[in-house]
Amino acid sequence: MLTVLNQLPDGLLTCDATELCQVLNGPTLIHLEGRRPEPLFVSVMLHGNEIVGWEAVRRLLSSHMDRELPRALSILIGNVDAARFGKRHLPEQPDFNRIWKAEGERLEHDMVRHVLAEMEARHVFASVDIHNNTGFNPHYACINRLDDRFRHLALLFSRTVVFFEQPDTVLSVAFASLCPSITVECGRPGEPHGVQHALECIDACLHLSALPDHPVAHHDIDLFHTVAVVKVPDYLSIGFGDDDADVCFIHDLDRLNFHELPAGTLLGWLRSESNPGLHVWNDVGVDVSERYLNLDGGEIRTRAQVMPSMLTLDTEIIQQDCLCYLMERMPSENAAEQQAG
């Protein structure tokens, strides 16, 4: 399923995301030489509707056609079949960013094992997985280990950093066992600033000789911890504003992303109070709905102070993935030590 190349195919850089399937047979890992041999690994379009990473890579490589890269670069171009139709993934496919435990017998799991083996053999320097959001979010980076090298890598993209451990089937978790690894969230598709921001991050990583391992000053990072995921039962219809649906959210729900919401904040309504409403699961799979949400009189309100991320108005994404994640602010170890002293 995976094609591995040591050079760019002819015509690749002229393709937009929807045209990649005309040049590539499927997921493709491309190794390019650079001045420093340990490669930076960059993954783009694990979700076919998230084109920012590919656009950033196109620009970067176009600017280096006659110049040596400062570091070797390995690029994974993911779900080109879904990209043709502007979809996260096709109905018969798994989510390409939920397969990285590589525990399965599908062709996609073989692909994952192949990618990880290739990059381990090449002594991968760092990993950057590039994504778009469908809702209104700031640009932010994610890490899966509280390691100073991971923090420094994330800060090359944003001072807003989210630490999460679940889902543990994403690419960044798999690569965290090989090298410092981050996910970068670059806003909504089609926003030029997102492409430029992703390009600047890749370029900065390529120019690093090493990643610092000294502590990050607490005033240089806004660190959050994902504590729960919110899902809508798949048999309930979803709407916004005045829509006639089983669960109807406020019309500008995604504007709540990365805002610390007080208890009692209205999120939406249930058409029938007999509906179970929303499910909230913590990192170990325990239902913590009653801790975070209050359902009363058909209204869905927050029960505790929370900060959501990745809220979206795209009902297909909600059904395929989730409504949002809930986060709490996380003090740095330095700040905690200063408070203790």
pLDDT at residue 333 in the model: 57
Do 104 and 246 fall within a single domain? Answer: no
Write down the pLDDT at residue 271: 85
User: Which strands make up the sheet holding 299-302, listed edge to edge?
Assistant: 238-240, 247-249, 266-270, 299-302, 293-296
pLDDT of residue 252 exceeding 90, the answer is: yes
Helix (H), strand (E), coil (C) string for the chain? CCEEECCCCCCHHHCCHHHHHHCCCCCEEEEECEEEEEEEEEEECCCCCCCHHHHHHHHHHHCCCCCCEEEEEEEEECCHHHHCCCCCCCCCCCCCCCCCCCCCCCHHHHHHHHHHHHHHHCCCCEEEEEECCCCCCCCEEEECCCCHHHHHHHHCCCCEEEECCCCCCCHHHHHCCCCCEEEEECCCCCCHHHHHHHHHHHHHHHCCCCCCCCCCCHHHCEEEEEEEEEECCCCCCEEECCCCCCEEECCCHHHHCCCCECCCCEEEEECCCCCCCCEEEECCCCECHHHHEEEECCEEEECCCEEEECCCCCHHHHHHCCCEEEEEECCCHHHHHHHHC
Question: Residue 341 pLDDT > 70, yes or no?
Answer: no
Q: Could you give the C-alpha distances from 275 to 139, 172, 243, in angstroms and in order?
A: 35, 36, 17
Task: Show which of 191, 216, 241 is a domain's final residue.
Answer: 216
Task: Establish whether the linkage from the previous residue to 94 is cis, with ω within 30° of 0.
Answer: no
Assign 276 a pLDDT band (cuts: 50, 70, 90): low
Q: Are 23 and 47 in contact (CB under 8 A)?
A: no
Specify whether the CB–CB gap between 271 and 295 falls below 8 A. Answer: no
What pLDDT score was predicted for residue 277?
76
**117-127 per-position pLDDT tens digit:** 999 999 999 99
Look up the CATH number of the domain holding residue 82. 3.40.630.10
Co-location of 206 and 310 in the same domain: no
Look at residue 91 and tell me whether its pLDDT is greater than 70. yes
pLDDT at residue 111 tops 80: yes
69 within domain boundaries: yes
| 340 pLDDT higher than 60 | no
Instruction: Specify the pTM.
Output: 0.91
User: CA angle, 44 as apex, 43 and 49 as ends, to 5°?
Assistant: 150
Q: Is the pLDDT of residue 275 over 90?
A: no
Residue 337 in domain:
no
Indicate whether 196 and 251 sit together in one domain. Answer: no
Q: Does pLDDT of 266 surpass 90?
A: yes
> Are the C-beta atoms of residues 18 and 58 closer than 8 Å to each other?
no
Whether residue 23 has pLDDT greater than 70: yes
- Residue 53 belongs to some domain of the structure: yes
Report whether pLDDT(4) > 90.
yes
pLDDT reading at 98 higher than 60: yes
Measured over the CA atoms of residue 6, residue 12, residue 18 and residue 21, the dihedral's sign is negative
Whole-number pLDDT of residue 183: 98
Identify which of 74, 126, 131, 57 has the alpha carbon closest to the alpha carbon of residue 97. Answer: 131
Residue 142 domain-assigned?
Answer: yes
- pLDDT tens, residue by residue, 46-67: 999 999 999 999 999 999 988 9
- 202 and 231 fall within a common domain: no
Residue 335 located in a structural domain? no
Please, which pLDDT band fits residue 104 given cuts at 50, 70 and 90?
confident
Quickly state the pLDDT bin for 338 (edges 50, 70, 90): very low
On the question of pLDDT at 336 being above 80, the answer is no
pLDDT of residue 327: 96
Per residue in 174-194, pLDDT tens? 999 999 999 999 999 989 999
The domain boundary, picked from 183, 216, 249, lies at: 216
Domain around 154: 3-216
Q: Determine, yes or no, domain membership for 56.
A: yes
Looking at the structure, do residues 196 and 97 belong to the same domain, yes or no?
yes
pLDDT of residue 334: 46
Q: Do 91 and 237 share a domain, yes or no?
A: no
**Tally of domains within the chain:** 2
pLDDT-based confidence at residue 6 (cuts at 50, 70, 90)? very high
Asked if residue 253 and residue 234 are part of one domain, the reply reads yes
pLDDT of residue 253: 97
Do 101 and 122 meet the contact criterion of CB atoms below 8 Å apart?
Answer: no
- The rounded mean pLDDT for the chain is 94
pLDDT band at 140 (very low <50, low <70, confident <90, very high): very high
Does the pLDDT at position 295 exceed 90?
no
